[in-house]
Structure 1
Amino acid sequence: MTHLRHAAVVIAASLLLGGLTSWAQGFLPEAVSSFANSPSGWTILTVLLVAAVRPSLGWGAVLGVLSFVSLVLGYTIASELRGLTYSPVYWGAIGVVAGPFVGAAAAAVVGRHPVRAALGAGSLAGVLVADGIYGLTVVDATTSPVYWTICLVLGTALVVATAVRLRTVTTVAVLLVATAAATGVLSAGYAKLNGEW
């Protein structure tokens, strides 16, 4: 029953937050408006919702998919209510692929296994750092640098807080390698999407 309750809470909150991101595109200050239109924005929301229920790694992966897809559906519904046409297929597919990794990483961060926590935190920090770099280097001419800088600060803060919490040389090394790997992979993905390869 707990799993069903957690799933219901995550789905309902994700639908609501996804809908709010559609509305937020029209009223967020320019400095942070990219939150409502960036991969890191929905990643942050998914991480917070999954981590809040402190699931196991496997259940976190399931909740990650449910959250990410529900965010997309909430966004779609709110956009349609605003008279905008939006297809959830592309981002829904990304949610199905990325959701398990994001959800499992969130579960790992709040879990008790130090190496898993390091891997999870490093992966999530990499999402924030890669998005921040992308924002400051690729879409810098059309967006404010404030949100992208916040992404970099949050990614760095997550690494520092996790390193302080875990303290051992091994886990800190795992954390740093995971952060660098996630940043590299996601930055390469951004470059490929932008035709830089």
Structure 2
Amino acid sequence: MSASTTTPHPTPPGLAASVGALAAAALGGLAIGALTSFSQGWLPFHLNSLSNSSGSWSVAAFLLALLPRRRWAAVAAAAAALACMMLGYDLASVLRGYHASAGTTAFWLTAAVLVGPFLGLTAHSLRFRTGFAPWGTGMLSGVLIGEGVYGHLVVAETTSVAYWSASVAAGLAFLVWACARRFPARRPVLTSVAVTAVVGGAFVAVYGMNPIQWFWF
């Protein structure tokens, strides 16, 4: 009597590709986080804020979320990338002999859950030109512009104003590119500009309250 055999069901190609892209985004996040920690000691003054910037990590998560083709995977990739950036940063900091900040870690893990999905949606919507593209563009542009304005208004005396000017320029360039190449019609352009203004203003207001201190315990 022969033993019965069960034929395994192959993993769907699309699912396998999504899982692979998600893993790549997580590994990329770990690498970027570790590099951020090490770069704080050797970046020149005019670039030092790059390793202490919300905008740089947001852009990195957005770019990593472009790896998957499926929307759910892009959303998960951005959230995982942000979370792994924080974990990579903490691991590298410990290796360098520093203590990981529980408050900063809690802040960025919360941002990974709350903000990461929107960065993933933005990446997917711009790649495939969905209806969320104007909104997502405004969010990311608003973060870059808002952080640049905050830098000029609050920390210009201790940091490089050239970096903050570059952040504003990058946000404006991204907004113009997306409006021109992804949704050139008047209504989505106006929507994107309005969202940029709202998010930028909110960023300056919220960052002015030092939100990381809310997570200190």
Fold similarity call, TM over 0.5: yes
Deviation per CA, 1:63-120: give whole Å up to 9, x if none.
121000000000011101100111323322222222112222222222222x321111
Larger Rg, first or second structure (1 or 2): 2
Q: Which runs of 5+ in 2 are unaligned?
A: 1-15, 212-217
Deviation per CA, 1:11-31: give whole Å up to 9, x if none.
111101110010011111110
Change (3 A) 1:146 1:177: same
- Could you tell me how far apart the structure 2 residues matched to 1:177 and 1:41 are? 22
Task: Work out whether 1:90 is the aligned partner of 2:107.
Answer: yes
- Partner in structure 2 of residue 7 of structure 1: 22
- Partner in structure 2 of residue 63 of structure 1: 77
Q: Which amino acid in 1 is paired with 2:147?
A: D
Q: Which amino acid in 2 is paired with 1:119?
A: W
CA contact (8 A) 2:147 2:164 kept: yes
Q: Which amino acid in 2 is paired with 1:42?
A: W
**Out of 180, 188, 198, which is 1:181 matched to?**
198
Q: Which amino acid in 1 is paired with 2:91?
A: I
Q: Which moved more, 1:95-104 or 1:80-89?
A: 95-104
How far apart are residue 181 of structure 1 and its match?
Answer: 1.7
How far apart are residue 55 of structure 1 and its match?
Answer: 3.8
- Could you tell me how far apart the structure 2 residues matched to 1:153 and 1:52 are? 25
Task: Work out whether 1:129 is the aligned partner of 2:170.
Answer: no
Q: Which moved more, 1:95-104 or 1:151-160?
A: 95-104
Aligned residues: 192
CA contact (8 A) 2:121 2:132 kept: no
Q: Which moved more, 1:32-41 or 1:180-189?
A: 180-189
Q: Which runs of 5+ in 1 are unaligned?
A: none
- Could you tell me how far apart the structure 2 residues matched to 1:51 and 1:187 are? 27
Misfit runs of 4+, over 4 Å: none
TM-score by length of 1: 0.91
Report matched runs for 1:37-76 at 5 Å.
37-56=52-71, 58-76=72-90
2:98 alignment partner, SS class: coil
Change (3 A) 1:69 1:152: same
More helix by share: 1
Task: Work out whether 1:153 is the aligned partner of 2:157.
Answer: no
- Partner in structure 1 of residue 12 of structure 2: none
2:209 alignment partner, SS class: helix
How far apart are residue 5 of structure 1 and its match?
Answer: 0.4
TM-score by length of 2: 0.83
RMSD between superposed Cα atoms in Å? 1.5
**Out of 118, 142, 154, which is 2:158 matched to?**
142
CA contact (8 A) 2:34 2:91 kept: yes
